[in-house]
A and B are shown apart, each in its own frame.
Chain A
């Protein structure tokens, strides 16, 4: 039995710790997923079905490389002529003719027509190499796109030669340190029809275009990326006038900075309920409630409060047109017209069904990136569920929240709760992402429907535990005092009756106090009168005493005088004798 020996690998040393060098792809969002872009100096295969955006993807890679990263590129087209390509991507804002004129881009259209070609012996594809080399040299290219090299398989009679030549081609491109993007059509059960993945094993990205419930969604997945970690999910992407955008555009982590700054809700009593100072700036606020509970009004009031502070506010409205919103809010005394006019408030309205889910979110991302608002309102967020599936929407909302949080934008979502649902459950299940959650409810009582607001949660602040009634009046929302009755919070007429009752009781109490005060006053006066009387008595006594003392003095003097008259000398001597008294007595 031989002993198993583990040989060190790599032989004689440690693995190099240098990360794989990458080039920014230029496609919005892809660099986040791949951790920096496509592998530098290596080929990447972009595959997918017809119309999934392979060519545009490849073109954006070249155009962004040429315009933003200083890396000129060569586009070798096997399917479309340079003119067709230029026309096709002009709608994305790419001006290929200008780039070609500036020598930042070379386009070579390779046409292979099977019927025109007669094979008469041995050959190779050196012509392709020559052309590629020429194109690379003409612009000093760092990036190369081959779109779609598979068409050679239908154009050239001998696949064995072609396969050998393709292998040589990729080796050749690697030797020249070209970052290459190859496109390939999806095959049955394979990534590409001709098995291109066999040659390109460094990075494979799969694009998909599928239709669910009549709504089309494009998706991207990094199938493999040798030597690096990458996001493995399917990410929705979008092609529009700005090129390709992949969500998420933001980081995949939870590392946003927070602030202690507060923003007013626009309703003073609600501010009080939220620890006295309103929402946290940059937090995510959800207002949920059934139909007609005033969610939009809360949103509009926040918008007005924000614009009055001088903040910029974006209002995404999925139910009403901007004009309708402005008109309706005027009826509750919330003026949105002037902030719209001054440009601090922007209302973007769209039917949820007009676009796919990801287009809505990408549009929102775009507008937010352009306008850089302080407050974003989405009203209502769960209308988006109609466009995608629950899971998709949830994922998208999470990404949107991350995106907004990373920018410190205060976000206000409204969410319509269905009549029969648990009121404290949002149907998109985003509650765990929400910082402050207000629940609006309609309370049916005594033939009335009244509205109440309660704070379900509010992270990081002491907040009221009370359910309070609020009233939509001509001057906006006012929150009434809370009365607790036998069956809970009193609302509407019941509250008014209670208020009247309280008022009457207060009046009775007031009267009792007045009466008591009067009584006390009387008593005080009585006591004071008594004090006066007693003092007068005392004064009289004092006077009597003084009189008596005086009288006593007078009598004594008179007595002395009388005695002196009877013994005059004694009195005189006595006077002296009294003075000399002791001396006289000693001499005696």
Chain B
């Protein structure tokens, strides 16, 4: 319960501050079930927490393999938060929402004040 309030507080803070732009990149390899799940999860979470502030770029490495090098992609699927800085990387199909929020710094756990 407490966590949620703090998250809402942060969200309100984010809203009250000049709106941040969230650049997200989701790296996948082909149209696999796992990549579909990851994309669905990402869109759901963004709609819930970052409505109107985000942009998702889906990158299929089978089509653009050279892009894997730039963001040091190894595991798939990988979600990269390009903006706001610093860059963050989240691997997996994003089904653990809790950890996605932590990874995106939408819900800092024990990192309050940093």
Binding site for B on A (CB under 8 A): 108, 110-112, 116-128, 130-131, 133-134, 152, 156
Contacts and interface: CB of A to CB of B under 8 A. Distances in A.
Contacts of A111: 72
A459 B79 CA distance: 78
30 contacts: A108-B69, A110-B74, A116-B87, A117-B91, A118-B89, A118-B102, A118-B103, A119-B91, A119-B96, A120-B90, A120-B92, A120-B94, A120-B95, A120-B96, A120-B100, A120-B103, A121-B41, A121-B94, A121-B95, A122-B95, A124-B34, A125-B74, A126-B61, A127-B75, A130-B73, A130-B76, A131-B68, A133-B65, A134-B66, A156-B75
A123 B76 contact: yes
A409 B45 CA distance: 79
A121 B29 contact: no
Contacts of A121: 37-38, 41, 92-96
Contacts of B93: 120-123
Interface in B42-62: 61-62
The residue in B37, B72, B74, B92 that gathers the most chain A C-beta atoms within 10 A of its C-beta is B74
Contacts of B96: 119-121
Contact of B75 (A108, A125, A133, A134): A125
B65 A131 contact: yes
Contacts of B29: 126-127, 130
A110 B70 CA distance: 10
A410 B58 CA distance: 72
A133 B37 CA distance: 25
A122 B103 CA distance: 15
A124 B61 contact: no
Contacts of B73: 127, 130-131
A249 B58 CA distance: 55
Contacts of A118: 88-91, 99-100, 102-103
Contact of B68 (A120, A122, A123, A127): A127
A108 B95 CA distance: 30
Given A127-B68, A130-B62, A130-B65, A119 B76 contact: no
A110 B69 CA distance: 8
Contacts of A125: 74-76
B21 to A, nearest CB: 21
Given A118-B99, A122-B34, A133-B65, A127 B74 contact: yes
A123 B89 contact: no
A524 to B, nearest CB: 118
Contacts of A123: 34, 75-78, 91-93
A537 B12 CA distance: 171
A124 B32 CA distance: 12
A117 B89 contact: yes
Nearest to B27: A127
A124 to B, nearest CB: 6
Nearest to B34: A122
B85 to A, nearest CB: 13
A235 B95 CA distance: 53
Contact of B91 (A108, A120, A130): A120
A169 to B, nearest CB: 12
A122 B74 contact: no
Contacts of B66: 134
Nearest 8 interchain pairs by C-beta: A118-B103, A121-B92, A134-B65, A121-B93, A121-B95, A120-B92, A127-B73, A126-B76
Contacts of B75: 117, 123-128, 156
Contacts of B41: 121
Nearest to A116: B89
B91 A131 contact: no
A9 to B, nearest CB: 41
Nearest to B92: A121
B28 to A, nearest CB: 9
A112 B94 CA distance: 19
B67 to A, nearest CB: 9
Given A127-B29, A131-B65, A110 B72 contact: yes
B82 to A, nearest CB: 13
Contacts of A134: 65-66, 68-69
A138 to B, nearest CB: 9
